[in-house]
A and B are shown apart, each in its own frame.
Chain A
Amino acid sequence: MTNSVARPDTSLVELIDVARYFDVSPPWLNRLLERKPRALLKAVDGVSLAIAKGETLGLVGESGCGKSTVARLIVGLYRPTRGEIRYAGKRIDVDGADPAARRDMQMIFQDPYASLNPRWRVADIVAEPLVAGRGRERPPKAALDARVATLLEQVGLARADGKKFPHQFSGGQRQRISIARALAGNPAFLICDEPTSALDVSVQAQVLNLMRRLQRELGLTLLFISHNLAVVHHIADRVGVMYLGRIAELAPTKVLFTRPQHPYTRMLLEAVPDLALTGKPRTAVAGEVPNPLDPPAGCTFHPRCPHANERCRREVPLLKPIRTAAGAVGEAACHAVEEGRLAPMTPVGA
């Protein structure tokens, strides 16, 4: 377990007030003739977080909350509009950043059908990170073959599977291939963007168990993104809840799931159907996520929040440590929590 606020010396990845805006304005002529304004989509708007070495940080939220954009910002598929991204203390979001940092991180994507090249043999797919961009440093073929075989066995596939093509595998097996490919370059940091969302539950269990085992064995640091709270509860040490491009709450998993602070987190936990809750009436949650092109002023959650007041409609809440009798256990961006207006929630399922 880690401290709720990881100090810079222990954190591997650090985001400082990172924002990413997308220009989704209508074409110039439409703006001119129809007097349409420019439109800016604030996919990520001021996210600060630190991931400690060896920990698993889960990131949850509903569609469009910006969780995948955070992943893409960290691996460098997008440049941040504002803010800093540091890896092992060094900035990686600028020109001339050390390419070694990029090799140290790998990503696993949601769709195992789209993320593997159908014309390549599995062995070539898995070996690609060892070969790409290395020029003469490329390892000799025998060493490469041996490494690929080890990797395939590590993720529960057979050595002979390297000769096959992706279409010969099921969804779960393909996700194992993706994991083997991600592990090929001995990364320290893995970003998993909904890695089990396309899989059936029994297969999802296989992949989650595998990822946990590999993390323990290899000492990996994980950023695990999912819309499924139960999956994140199972795999993460700490969890961040995102809403409309910002972090609403960030706390150790156990704390977040037993004593959620932010009204949005409470609402999400109430909404998840769980096997243990058979027959329990569910509190119906009102409202929907607002249009991200025209987010509400102040706290973006205020139109759906039962505790909103004048201040919430005006002032954007910042992510601040939650003070309880036992000390700071997590962080929440909520005026009501900060002012102590919110009664503590009864633990879920207690």
Chain B
Amino acid sequence: MTAEALLAVKDLRVEFPTRQGTLVAVDRVSFSVAAGEVLGVVGESGAGKSLTGAAVIGLIDPPGRIGAGEIWLNGRRIDKLPPEAMRRIRGREIGAIFQDPLTSLNPLYTIGRQLVETIMTHLDLAPAPAHKRARDLLAEVGIPAAARRFDHYPHQFSGGMRQRVVIALALAANPKLIIADEPTTALDVSIQAQIIALLKRLCREHGTAVMLITHDMGVIAETADRVAVMYAGRIAEIGPVADVIHRPQHPYTKGLMGSIPSIIAEREQLAQIDGTMPRLTAIPTGCPFHPRCPEVFDRCRRERPDLMAAGATRAACWLVAEAR
């Protein structure tokens, strides 16, 4: 955990109390995001990546709750803030982009009005400059004829254009951090490429850090500086994106990379990880990946591995400790 980290998450635990006992969806997750950095968070459904993002932005739906751990933003602890204080941070200091641009926008208001409202809520601006800023933002995210589109309703936009509006909303108050949860999943490939390029350009220009949550390793490869691979609510491996993709250390990361079909490499057979991710009700003891791991040994079944340095990345795997 470096001192200059913009966002620092320490031993985060997100849990859901149920009648059958407490389900732990995110378990002892620690990572940090430096200013201006893009951290990719990747994993399959149910790995806890979206919940980690929701915890940072303070949007975990009850009965879910942060059971333990700390979240620090700019040197200030934010996981214990009262709802009103957290509401001021959302939008002002942390922006959010979600998967479905249609449900992120209010269908009853024009996009101009939604932008102006967001700007005036977070920045101390009079209506006229707020309008100007809204128009500038729309032009900046590449909406053609932004001045005319200002008074249009969300349903008059295509999916890609809506996602551009959502990005404009997220950037409205110049936050230092954006949580983007599957921002391109609902879009076609050609539009996806446009949105990724836009997100990359804007974050570079504004110096905004991004926590990019997605299941698409290709998007991470194109966009992120570092990547965290999550499995069963824990980080399996974290490190610079090129190292995690090309020199993975954790057996799960290796299997995951091998299972992705490519448009370049010819492969007769895709690498296969048999089985599926465990349910939250039945997370195995020790390393949660051990029942599916091809290199499992005794210690994996007994003890849970923590992240340890392995090559250029850090992996939560006992093989790494053995190799030392």
Contacts and interface: CB of A to CB of B under 8 A. Distances in A.
Interface in A202-248: 202-206, 208-209, 212, 227-231, 233-234
Contact of B242 (A227, A233, A278): A278
Given A62-B189, A271-B189, A273-B218, A200 B44 contact: yes
A272 interface: yes
A209 B272 contact: yes
Given A208-B270, A234-B267, A272 B217 contact: no
Nearest to B44: A200
B199 to A, nearest CB: 12
A202 B192 contact: no
Interface stretch (B29-37, B203-211, B258-266): B258-266
Contacts of B191: 288
Interface residues on B, range: 35 or more
Given A206-B274, A234-B267, A274-B263, A268 B257 contact: no
Contacts of B156: none
A253 to B, nearest CB: 9
Q: Chain A: interface secondary structure?
A: helix
Interface stretch (A91-99, A115-123, A279-287, A313-321): A279-287
A274 B218 contact: yes
A202 B272 CA distance: 7
B188 interface: yes
B175 interface: no
Contact of A205 (B194, B246, B264, B271): B271
A162 interface: no
A276 B265 contact: yes
A158 interface: no
A3 interface: no
Interface in B262-289: 262-267, 269-274, 276-277
Contacts, number: 131
Interface string B175-197: 00000000000001111111011
B89 interface: no
Contacts of B216: 273
A191 to B, nearest CB: 20
A349 interface: yes
B272 A275 contact: no
Residue with the greatest number of chain A CB neighbours at <10 A, chosen from B189, B217, B245: B189
A229 to B, nearest CB: 5
A110 to B, nearest CB: 15
Contact of B270 (A62, A209, A276): A209
B263 A269 contact: yes
Residue with the greatest number of chain B CB neighbours at <10 A, chosen from A201, A208, A209: A201
6 contacts: A201-B44, A208-B261, A271-B189, A276-B264, A288-B161, A289-B188
Interface of A: 62-63, 170, 172-173, 200-206, 208-209, 212, 227-231, 233-234, 254, 257, 267-280, 282, 284-286, 288-289, 348-349
Interface of B: 44-45, 158, 160-161, 188-194, 196-197, 215-219, 221-222, 241-242, 245-246, 255-267, 269-274, 276-277
Given A274-B218, A285-B190, 14 more contacts: A202-B272, A205-B260, A205-B261, A205-B273, A206-B272, A227-B188, A227-B189, A233-B261, A257-B263, A268-B189, A269-B263, A271-B192, A276-B265, A279-B242
